[in-house]
Structure 1
Amino acid sequence: MPSQRDVQNACRTAGLGVSAAELHGGLCGWLAGGGADGPEWLQRVLVDDSLPAPPDETLEQLRRASVAQLEDRSFGFELLLPDAEATLYERSGALFDWCRGFLGGFGLAAGQAPPLSEETKEALADLAKLAAASPQDGGDQEDEAALAEIEEFVRVAALLLHGDCALGPRHRQRLN
Structure 2
Amino acid sequence: MHVANTDLPSLPAVEAEIRQQALAMTSSELHGALCGWLAGGGAATRDWPAKVLVDAGLETPAEHSPFDQLREATAAQFGDRSFGFELLLPEADASLAVRSGALFDWCRGFLGAFGLAAGAKPPLSEEGAEALADLAKLAAAQPQDEGDEDDEAALVEIEEFVRVAALLLHGDCVMAAQHRARLN
TM-score (norm 1): 0.97
Secondary structure of the corresponding residue to residue 16 of structure 2: helix
For structure 2, the residue ranges without an aligned partner over 5 or more in a row are: 1-7
1:93 aligns with 2:87: no
Aligned match of 2:86: 78
Q: Quote the offset at 1:39 in angstroms.
A: 2.0
Q: Quote the offset at 1:36 in angstroms.
A: 1.1
Quick one: distance in 1 between partners of 2:18 and 2:57? 16
Once the two structures are superposed, the pairs formed by residues 1-176 of structure 1 within 5 Å of their partners are: 1-55=8-62, 57-176=65-184
Quick one: distance in 2 between partners of 1:76 and 1:54? 24
Quick one: distance in 1 between partners of 2:18 and 2:174? 26
* Identity between Structure 1 and Structure 2 (%): 66
Q: Quote the offset at 1:27 in angstroms.
A: 0.2
**Residue pair 2:46, 2:71 contacting (<8 A) in 1 also:** no
Secondary structure of the corresponding residue to residue 50 of structure 1: coil
For structure 1, the residue ranges without an aligned partner over 5 or more in a row are: none
Q: Quote the offset at 1:8 in angstroms.
A: 1.1
Q: Quote the offset at 1:40 in angstroms.
A: 2.2
TM-score (norm 2): 0.93
Q: Quote the offset at 1:166 in angstroms.
A: 0.9
Aligned residue pair count: 176
Quick one: distance in 2 between partners of 1:113 and 1:34? 13
RMSD across aligned positions (CA): 0.9
Q: Which runs of 4+ in 1 moved over 6 A?
A: none
Quick one: distance in 2 between partners of 1:131 and 1:54? 27
> Cα deviation per residue 1:81-133 (whole Å; 9 max; x = unaligned)?
00012100000000000000000110000000000011110000000000000
